[in-house]
Every structure is written in C-alpha cells, then in structure tokens.
Chains A and B, each alone.
Chain A
Amino acid sequence: MNLDSRIDWFPLYLSLRVAALSTIAVVTVGTALAYLLSHRNFPGRNLLESVLTLPLVLPPTVLGYYLLVTVGRSSPFGAAYESIFGHPLVFTWQAAVLAAVLHSAPIYIKAARAVLDEVDPRFERAAQSFGASEWNTFWRVTLPLAQSGLYPLAALAFARSLGDFGVTIMVAGNIPGRTQTLSVAIYDAVESGNGQLARTLVLIVSVVALALLWPGSYLLRSFRRREGA
C-alpha cells in the first residue's frame, strides 16, 4: 500500500453540497414551472415544455457549450456575475451547481408535472368556489395533495444532480480540491490507473443513489394509491 490508497473525501463532500443546492433550486423553480405547465393554459406552453425537455435529449457537451456561452466570462450574465462577486462563474463549484441543475431539472419538471396533473381537480375547484386565491389553493390544497408524489422526485433530482459528468466537466472543469465532483473524480481515477479509488467511489455513488431511490418508490406508490382511491 502506498500513499495513493489514502482516499481524498473532498469530491464526495463537494458532490453532496452541489447536489443539495441544485436540488433546492430544482424543487422550487421546477415545481413552479411544472405547476404552470399543468394548470395554466398560455400561448407558448408547448414550446416551453419542449425547451424544458431539450436537455434530456441533447448530448452533455452541447449543453455544456450552451452554458459556457450563457455564463462565460464574455457573456453579459458572466460579466455581471464577475463584477458582483469578484471572480468569474465558470470553473468554480457554483458552476458545478448550475450544471447539476441543468442535468436534473428537466426530468424533475416532467415528472412533477405528471404528479400535479394527477391531483384531482375537484379539490382545487372546491377551494376556488370558496373564494380562495390561486396562490392559497396551490399552497394549502394542490401542494399538500401532491407532496407525497413530489418527495421521491426531489430524491430523484438529488441523485441525478450527484451523477452529472459531461456538463460539469465543461463548465466547472476538473480542479482537484475545488471543482472535482465525484463523477469527475471517478473519471480521473480511472484515467490515472487508480483502480482502488475508482472502485470505492463507484460503490459510494451507487449506494447513495440506491438509498435515495428505493424509499421513493414506496412513497410514489402510496401517492398513486391515494389519488386512485
């Protein structure tokens, strides 16, 4: 055994932090978008839905490229960010959060929309007929009825945020100790022939993902059962 076998836990810590922040962003913004898609009829709804699905089918490199163009140092957004925070957004862990959001939001929005569609409209209609505002109806009726269906999706978003590779490496790079997430570290370990490290990290990612998804499937089933009853 040499020094290499000592495992650097930074990628795991970074990945968990990135995934947590990304999940918070995806659940708040994604639920709002899913609600708009499911409950509102507005011009351009289909276009918005298609655009939101696009990241699911495009290669990660294409997404990474778009993201670089949007938040790179020469873009207006990137420049504004740099002038506020004093450092560029690209090749930081914050960029890794963006990459994780891009990776997990589409699938969350699609599934959350389906969950919100399944909420029986008679409850929302009842709330409206009492005079409740749309905002109140959403918070006190729609969301509580949908929440057991949304929890497993949040877990899914977390697991997916944990697993992004392509977009992360394009916008956050592979800087050990700064932007190297788990999936990037695994790639690095394999490339440099560090089989033991690769195996350990692979095992960690797999176990964490399974631990997230397994209970979720029970929750989702209980949601379906209640809505079906």
Chain B
Amino acid sequence: MKFIDARVSKAFRLPKASEEFKLDLHLETESTAVALLGPSGSGKTLTLNCIAGFVQPDDGRILINDELFFDSRERISRPPRYRRCGYLSQEHALFPHMTIRQNLLFAAHSKPRQKWASGGGLARRRAANEILEAFELTSLADRRPDQLSGGQKQRAALARVLINEPQILLLDEPTRGLDARLRDNFYQLFDRLRERLNIPVLLVTHDLDECLRLAEYVFYIEGGRIVQSGSRYDILTRPATLSMARSLGVYSCVPAEVVALDPGRNVSRISAAGLVIETSYLPGHLLGDHGHVCIRNSEITLLDDSASGVNCFPVAVLRATPAAGGIRLELDGELSATVNQEKWLALGRPTRLKIHIPPQAAHFLS
C-alpha cells in the first residue's frame, strides 16, 4: 500500500512577483516518514495545504493511505474536516480564548463519533487527562496559550493534534523558533509517539538536520518541482543539482573538468581547484566535460604531513572559524572542510596542511 500518491498542480501569481509560480509535482512513496525538503518559497507548505484540503489544486489526484482526498477529473474534493489530517505548523494555532484543557477537549469533541459512542464526555475528559499527563502538561492545563512558553505551546499543540487521532500527521516546520534543547525534546517526544501510535508523517522543512532526524524518505523540492527523491542518505550523499547542493549548505561546490575516465578500473579523475581528484567511474560523461564537483565538508579529513596516497593533497588554509561541528576551514580553491577541533589544535593551527578526499565523497555534477 502506498502511503502517499499525490499528483498536484497549481499555478498562481503572487501579489508582488512578475512571474507565475507553478507547483507541479507527484509525490509517491510507501515510506511512512516522509519529508518535503527545499528552500523557502519552493511550494512545500502549499503542497501540505493541498493535502490537508485548505487549498484546491488546479489539477491532480491525492490518495493518502489508499483514501481518495481529491480528484480533479472526477470532481471529488473531500472537505478538510473529513480528511483526518493532523496539521501542526510552527504557529501552533492553539485557540487563544481557551485553556489548554479546553483546546484538547475541543479537538476530542470534534472527532467523528464512533469510538466514544458510549461514555461521551467522561471518556473524552479521561483521554484529555491521560494525554496531558503523557505530555507533562497537567500543571499547565488550565492556562491559556499566551501564558505558555514556546516549547510548551508546541507540546500542547502536538497533544491537541494527537487526541484527535488523525490518520496522518502533517508537520510544517514544527520546531521553527525553538532553541536546540527544546528542539531535541520535541524530537524525542516525537520518536516515542511514532513507536507507540505508528501514525504516518509528512514533514515540511528547509532544515537539513531536521529532515535527516525525522524522515526516512525525502523529496527535495525547488521552484514547485521535485528535483530529487530518495532515501535521506541518497539526498545527502548524491545531490542531483548544483543549486540543491548549494542550498543544502554542507558541500564545497567547485568548478571542475573530467580529465580521465577508466571504466575498467571504475575510476575517473576530475580536475578542480588545482587538484586532480580521483573518484569512481562517471557513466554518461565524456572527457573534457565541464561541471562542478561537490564534496561534503565533513568528509574531508586532515592528514599528517608524512601521509601520502590517493586523493591526498597539500593545501593552503585561508581562514579557520569555529563552528558547531568543529572547526570550519576555508581552503585554497573554494574548498571548505569541517574538521575535528582537537586534530586541528594538535596540528598546531597550520597555514598549510594535507587533506584527504575519499573517492566516494567527490560527486561530479555537469
């Protein structure tokens, strides 16, 4: 069974833009932890809104868990209230005029009846108490949203979505505006829920880390179109286009030329940044092809001066700045690398050093 099979197209003109924006994509996957990754303005949230039913596509067909939500040819469009999508956005949308408990009860009450046919209000109250407990919100239950911190609000919003027992969770940049610690809390809470409830998730984000953390299958979207889709590792290690590699922000992208091709030994050589980098054979490319080579910053390693071998290069260090993952080095020829801080200090902050580029880390894009 396919979790998502959605073909969506919609064209419109933004108030200030001269050109028309056209969303045209086909999401299809069996994975139940899916992310739409892409820069802002690429149409991710619009796609989510089409699935939730808040926006009508011009054309297309949306199937979620084998249920038909929308079909332009059959003129079917299920209203949002019958789609059972748990929509969580960065703006949480907790009702400001209700307490957290009332927010939860509203969501529980609005759920289509069957489950609580007997018990009614009492069962709903008990469910609300249980979920408040599980989300550590019991002491905050009688407060209004504006009396809660950002992290508490997001937790309450997730609790409210879940008490409604949706068929699918739609998350729109759920941790935007939260600091690293709260973000991590949210991810952990989320993991526990996924284990217990097994609800499929469709996540929208522009944050690569969040995407890797929460999703298994990724659609990379740019300008309303899918640029690449695949497992999270495919996306990370083999970006399909230069602009995608650049916007993911974890690569050195350097102009390059193919200078040797050897299918027999499964080896190619690429000349870039004054270096000749060996990589695996590039099918479909010719000698003299120009393009870019993308190398993930964290895959470049520092070597001792004496080391030698394939893809070991002496390079000049232009600048070294501390970064979250270690020390970020800007090297000669537009290369950059993120390296271990201890290693960097142990080498005595050299101005020239030797680096190693693993052959599988160099990725040629024409």
A residues at B contact (CB < 8 Å): 122-123, 125-133, 136, 140-141, 144-145, 226
Contact = CB atoms under 8 A, between A and B. Distances in A.
B100 to A, nearest CB: 14
Interface of B: 52, 54, 79-87, 89, 91, 93, 95-97, 106-107, 110-112, 164, 166
Contacts of A129: 52, 80-81, 83, 85-87, 164, 166
B179 to A, nearest CB: 21
Nearest to A147: B97
A43 B122 CA distance: 44
A224 to B, nearest CB: 14
A126 B81 contact: no
Nearest to A140: B106
A4 B160 CA distance: 69
B82 A126 contact: no
Contacts of B89: 122
Contacts of B85: 129
Grouping DSSP codes into helix (H, G, I), strand (E, B) and loop, the B interface class, with mixed when no group exceeds half, is loop
A131 B106 contact: no
Given A130-B107, A131-B111, A131-B164, A125 B87 contact: yes
B110 A130 contact: yes
Contacts of B93: 122-123, 125-126
Contacts of A141: 95
A130 B87 CA distance: 9
- Which of B85, B91, B110 gathers the greatest number of chain A CB atoms within 10 Å? B110
Contacts of A131: 81-82, 84, 110-112, 164
A144 B81 contact: no
B299 to A, nearest CB: 41
Given A122-B89, A133-B81, A144-B97, A127 B110 contact: yes
A125 B54 contact: yes
A33 to B, nearest CB: 23
B111 A126 contact: no
B96 A145 contact: yes
Nearest to B85: A129
A132 B81 contact: yes
Nearest to B86: A129
The 9 residue pairs across chains A and B that have the minimum distance between CB atoms:
A132-B110, A130-B110, A126-B93, A128-B80, A122-B93, A131-B110, A130-B107, A144-B97, A130-B164
A139 to B, nearest CB: 11
Given A130-B110, A132-B81, A140-B106, A145 B97 contact: yes
- Which of A127, A131, A141 gathers the greatest number of chain B CB atoms within 10 Å? A131
Given A126-B87, A144-B97, A226-B96, A132 B54 contact: no
A54 B84 CA distance: 43
Nearest to A227: B96
B206 to A, nearest CB: 20
Contacts of A136: 110
Contacts of A132: 81, 106, 110
19 contacts: A122-B89, A123-B96, A126-B93, A126-B95, A127-B110, A129-B80, A129-B81, A129-B86, A130-B81, A130-B111, A130-B164, A131-B111, A131-B112, A132-B81, A132-B110, A136-B110, A140-B106, A145-B97, A226-B96
